[in-house]
A and B are shown apart, each in its own frame.
Chain A
Amino acid sequence: MASEVIAQTEEPRVTYLNAGHTVKSWLLTLDHKRIGLLYLFSISVFFAIGGIYASLIRLELITPQGDLMSADTYNRVFTMHGVMMIFFFLIPSIPATLGNFLLPLMLGAKDVAFPRLNLLSWYVFILGGSLMLITIMTGGVDTGWTFYPPYSSIYSNTQVTLAGVSIFITGFSSILTGLNFMVTIHTMRAPGLTWFRLPLFVWAHYATSLIQVLGTPVIAITVLALAFERTLQIGIFDPKLGGDPVLFQHMFWFYSHPAVYIMIIPSMGVVSELIANMTRKKIFGYHFVAFSSLAIAVFGFLVWGHHMFTSSQSMYAGMVFSLITYAVAIPSAIKIFNWTATIFKGSVSYDTPMIYALAFIGLFTVGGMTGLFLAALGLDVHLHDTYFVVAHFHYVMVGGAIIGYLGGLHFWWPKITGRMYPEIWGRISASIIFLGFNLTFFPQFIVGYLGMPRRYHAYVPEFQVWHILSSAGASLLAIGFIMPVVYLTWSLKYGEKVGDNPWMAAGLEWETSSPPPPENFTYQPVINHDAYEFENVKEIKEAAAREAALQTA
């Protein structure tokens, strides 16, 4: 996809895109920007696969009988949907694409600290992803993405071991990326770029990297233990072999709860950039927003037990986990309030990235608030493992993480490609996504409270109306997601060529050319001001001067 662009752009200027035309120059590149695009392409493929599974799920659930596919097939479908979306799309999404592309640019660096390691991460990711594709082709997995034993360890006769190996391998890609980012942020900042002058996107990625480095090994150990139990009958989780099934849940959620923050914190970083730049305002309470990312990351490790309130864990453990969960909810609330306050008295643009940012705030508020329902012990007993939970996490992960990702992709698209997408289509598709999303997932809160359990292939007829609404919404949502794929691809060739800083945004990445040259800057940037100082943006000054001239004329 991207190599086409190079063939077309016949500019004399050397950019990272035309610096080499061969396939080899892409596959062996050490340029973080090209690696970002490699990831962009790969995770888009995985997203498409996950999306096809999602459509199958919604299609099956239109009728209560479970008549489209067999129970076994359905179980594989929802498992692969979850696995694809979480491990191969959401976790890598923003860090691996936008993060890879932008971090060095935002830091005024030539590249990340370890470019070879960066390329290796991508290959590891592809290896893991290919194994998962093989898993699918050889029968798939039917355990759910949470892999709870003893079903997964002893009873399921699907490809659990292979899937485990694939996730184990993919985890290394995540660890390596996190490590690389941390070292890069510590050591590669341009002269004058102190910690508190960093864009909030960078803070968010720092916090995310902490989780990736500290949390991922735990899931690796967990799936490894599962594989040992499966293959060698070592009793770790199955009581028949002397193990403890609840132990797995502790180990799994010790990673996977923080992992949900790997998905959302980067998106919060993107939204901070979008809000600041689309309103031309400093983020209200910059320090609070920066530290809230860290707080979420650190405290996120202490709340895993809130997934296990009904698991037979002790009542007092439940209470402690619930209490700590409420403590972590506060930093998220702080962000919402600060973003809203930033818009106050701003110079608000109506462009697509802003629409995404606002959609994020609205949807994430609902997602976060319904988290409070689930953390409320007595209520979670009823809600746990129902569609209410499904709706909650889609509000945060699709309504939060994916919306942020799309907003960021639109915002930095002209930087990445040098061309603009068609703005009108951007706004239309963002609005369709917003509507389709709500129609898909809001009914799930209702049907969940009515008692519809998760992972059901057939259900009692009285729930049907909610599922029909949800499936209708999913069709709309699918259209909303396909549109950007079409017009963004179209824009690679036909999109309007724009200057270096079409949004008149503040930030080092906008000071270099679009697309950037191979080593990012032709000079060494030196920073003498805070993030989001719009008085320093050359394009705004020029526009103001033009306007002044027009008025006097």
Chain B
Amino acid sequence: MPEQASKFALEVDLFYIALWLMTIFFTVGIVAAIFLFMVKYRRRHDGEIPEQIEGAMTLEILWSVIPFIMALGIFAWGAKIYHEMYTEPKEALEIFVTGKQWMWRAQHPDGQREINTLHIPVGRRVKLTMTSEDVLHAYFIPAFRTKADVVPGRYTTTWFEATKPGTYHLFCAEYCGTQHSGMIGTVTAMEPGEYESWLGGGTKEPPAVAGEKLFSSLACSTCHQADGKGRGPKLVELYGKEVKLNNGSTVTFDDTYIRESVLDPGAKIVENYQLIMPSFRGQVSEEQIAQIIAYLKSIGPKDAGATAAKPAAPAAVKSAAAKPAAVPSAKK
């Protein structure tokens, strides 16, 4: 058993043990039956023909239905855990992770960055929003029993809550080329106070703030004006809502759609607007896109539900430099 260091760990381990018990039960049962039959019914003489048994309907039904019911039980148990793992928590510390051949980069809400390590507080839900700059990777923390693929062109998320301080393995679980086995690191779970002081070290800027700067330096703000009078749609209070497109369909204004619009503005054009926006492909890195998303999220509606995140002023933001910038932008 690997170390149990998250809320899921115990549940997954119990499930695992239960399945092994079942496997041992069936395997031993079958093997014992076979041994018994082998000995008891061994061929006594060359011309022997045993009594023939064609089959028995009741038995067939019994040994189809009973395993099926057991299988449904396993399915339900597994689905319950999966549902928990893949339902995004409402109140979570959100960390952005970028996978790249062959390293993991993470950026904390207050701007602290790290490579191949991840520092998190114990006893608090942590949500990772992840994407890749090149190929598929997978973020795998065995001690937390969590794993999620990191996919270029998409945002995937995973979440966990560490239950005890310590340092745990972080592996890349999706084959990604030469140094795949070197794309490993550590996750350090710390007491919340220690985490705060760890964040305090180094200089940084919260992603939402960096995103706001990008929003103006890339001149997004000239068209996407806050009062909706610009040549592009107004993006304030939009995050997590449905947007009507000029082809009649709708799309959710979420991470993936924002990213797509930045890189390929023509893909889905909002109703009543023209394609005049240039593509920013090659001009912005995945990390910068993530920052822009963080900014747009921070100016989004406050009650956009589970997927739309909170205003970018999470409680963790302690840094004096970050605070004044982040909070006002959230209130705009």
Contact = CB atoms under 8 A, between A and B. Distances in A.
B198 interface: no
B250 to A, nearest CB: 17
Contacts, number: 298
B180 interface: yes
B118 to A, nearest CB: 16
B182 interface: yes
Contact of A75 (B22, B56, B178): B178
A: contact size bracket: 35 or more
Contact of A151 (B49, B52, B135): B135
A150 B134 contact: yes
B222 to A, nearest CB: 27
B276 interface: no
A238 B82 CA distance: 28
B87 to A, nearest CB: 8
Interface string B55-75: 110011001100110011011
Contact of B53 (A238, A281, A386): A281
B80 interface: yes
Nearest to A540: B47
B193 interface: no
Interface residues of B, number: 88
Contacts of B31: 362, 365
Given A334-B60, A362-B27, A369-B27, A349 B43 contact: yes
A282 B75 contact: no
Nearest to A388: B16
Given A333-B67, A372-B71, A546-B47, A309 B175 contact: no
Contacts of A381: 12, 81-82, 85, 145-148
A58 interface: no
Interface string A258-275: 000000000000000000
Interface string A486-504: 0000000000000000001
A156 interface: yes
Interface string A320-347: 0011001101100110111011011111
Interface stretch (B107-115, B165-173, B296-304): B165-173
Given A71-B181, A369-B26, A385-B138, A329 B71 contact: yes
Contacts of B171: 451, 453
Contacts of B26: 365, 369
Contacts of B80: 378
B91 to A, nearest CB: 20
B258 interface: no
B75 A348 contact: no
Contact of A547 (B47, B72, B153, B154): B47
B23 to A, nearest CB: 4
Interface of A: 66, 71-72, 75, 142-144, 146, 148, 150-151, 155-156, 238-240, 242, 244-246, 279-282, 284-288, 309-312, 315, 318-319, 322-323, 326-327, 329-330, 333-334, 336-338, 340-341, 343-350, 358, 361-362, 365-366, 369-370, 372-373, 375-382, 384-386, 449-451, 453-460, 504, 534-535, 540-548
28 contacts: A146-B175, A245-B151, A245-B153, A246-B154, A284-B53, A285-B56, A311-B149, A315-B87, A322-B82, A326-B75, A333-B67, A338-B55, A338-B60, A343-B38, A344-B53, A345-B51, A345-B53, A346-B37, A361-B30, A365-B31, A369-B26, A369-B27, A381-B82, A381-B147, A382-B145, A454-B175, A458-B182, A534-B52
Interface of B: 1-2, 8, 11-12, 15-16, 19, 22-23, 26-27, 30-31, 33-34, 37-38, 41-56, 59-60, 63-64, 67-68, 71-72, 74-75, 77-87, 101, 134-136, 138, 140, 142-143, 145-149, 151-154, 156, 169, 171-182, 184, 264
